[in-house]
Amino acid sequence: DTAVSQTPKYLVTQMGNDKSIKCEQNLGHDTMYWYKQDSKKFLKIMFSYNNKELIINETVPNRFSPKSPDKAHLNLHINSLELGDSAVYFCASSSRQGGDIQYFGAGTRLSVL
Amino acid sequence: AQSVSQHNHHVILSEAASLELGCNYSYGGTVNLFWYVQYPGQHLQLLLKYFSGDPLVKGIKGFEAEFIKSKFSFNLRKPSVQWSDTAEYFCAVMNSGGYQKVTFGTGTKLQVIP
């Protein structure tokens, strides 16, 4: 059983389109994250939700909108995709009881053409 | 604001060589420190962590790291690397109070030559 699962694994789309990436964790964690990893492997936090509440919102264009229907899910919707959005997006989850260790999904490689 | 610096961007070693990857952080309060590893084509996974207690922590696969509070450092070490250690290594810091925001360093690419 995959602890943190993301779909899709690959996403190729045209500029201007709207797309969503889904994330689910079955670890019982109360905090979930979205990270963006660029071509140089730099990993930057985008958002964090704790018990469905947004707690971290870094400087991210408002074309990116996270949604957490429940604490096991954190989806990322991106409007009007741009070339610079091409990256690998990682979902992660953690909990205080789990020692704040982040468990990452396999990543979604987004290519905007 | 917290930040993390990894000064070695790309390290190339022969098998059996010793490894030390530098990590320095800046944050005024108490921190939790982590090293994560990303093998080629895979997701990040925890290598080791420091929360409190013994500043020398041991992780998986023979890795260890030492927290030196006075130097704001948390360097990763391994006495003898293997080809399978080829990966990207990320140092991360989290403020131990308040929200669980984790800041990652820029990563160090380790290439081990057989």
Summarize pLDDT for B9-50 with one digit per residue, the tens: 999 999 999 999 999 998 877 889 999 999 998 889 999 999
Inter-chain CB proximity A90 and B102 less than 8 Å = no
Q: Quick one: pLDDT at residue B100?
A: 66
CA distances in angstroms from B56 to A66, B21, B43, B64, listed in the order given: 38, 15, 26, 7
Contact B109 A41 (CB under 8 A): yes
Phi (first) and psi of residue B41, to 5 degrees: 75, 10
B104 chain-A contacts, CB cut-off 8 A: 35, 43-45
For chains A and B, CB pairs below 8 A equal: 55
Q: How close is the nearest chain B Cα to the Cα of A22, in Å? A: 16
Cα dist. A35→A68, A75, A105, A110 in Å? 15, 12, 10, 13
- For an interface test with B, the pick among A41, A57, A59, A71 (most B C-beta atoms closer than 10 Å) comes out as A41
Say which of B43, B106, B109 has its CB closest to residue A104. Answer: B43
Q: What is the pLDDT of residues B78-87, one digit of tens each?
A: 999 999 999 9
Mean pLDDT of A48-66: 87
* Facing residue for A101 by CB, picked from B38, B43, B46: B46
pLDDT digits (tens, 9 = 90+) for A15-50: 999 999 999 999 999 999 999 998 888 888 999 998
How sure is the predictor about B110, in pLDDT bands with cuts at 50, 70 and 90?
Answer: very high
pLDDT at A105: 94
Q: Does A107 touch chain B (CB under 8 A)?
A: yes
Residues 6+ apart with CB under 8 A from A97: none
pLDDT, greater one: B87 or A101: B87
> How do residues B54-103 score in pLDDT, each as one tens digit?
999 999 999 999 999 999 999 999 999 999 999 999 999 987 766 667 88
Q: How many CA atoms lie within 13 A of B13 on its CB side?
A: 22
Which amino acid appears at position B31 of this protein?
Answer: V
Across residues A62-86, what is the average pLDDT?
94
Q: Does the beta-carbon distance from A94 to B51 stay under 8 Å?
A: no
Contacts of A104 in chain B (CB under 8 A): 43-45
C-alpha distances (whole Å) from A83 to each of A10, A12, A110, B76, B107 are: 16, 11, 10, 36, 24
